[in-house]
Amino acid sequence: MLSRFSIAMLAYVVLALLAVATLNQTFPVMGRQVPLSAITLVVLGLFAFRTWLHHKREMLEKQDGMQR
């Protein structure tokens, strides 16, 4: 059975693939044309990073609790 962390990361990958496949518009950002998919990937990457940090924190707390 997959862990909640694995399912969350898989969901981020699926969303990223869908974003790249479907979002083809561009928007001006600081004078440059930036693809909407790139903006979406940055946001998804930030969420994935936060999820990873939370997972690591839980693992460290679990290890610390076992040592006491």
**Res 68: pLDDT:** 66
Q: What is the CA angle 39-43-46, rounded to 5?
A: 140
Domain extents for the chain? 4-67
CB 49 within 8 A of CB 36: no
Q: Assign 3-state DSSP to the chain and report helix, strand, coil percentages, each to 5.
A: 75, 10, 15
Q: What pTM was computed for the model?
A: 0.84
* Tens of pLDDT, residues 22-67: 999 998 989 999 999 999 999 999 999 999 999 999 999 998 888 7
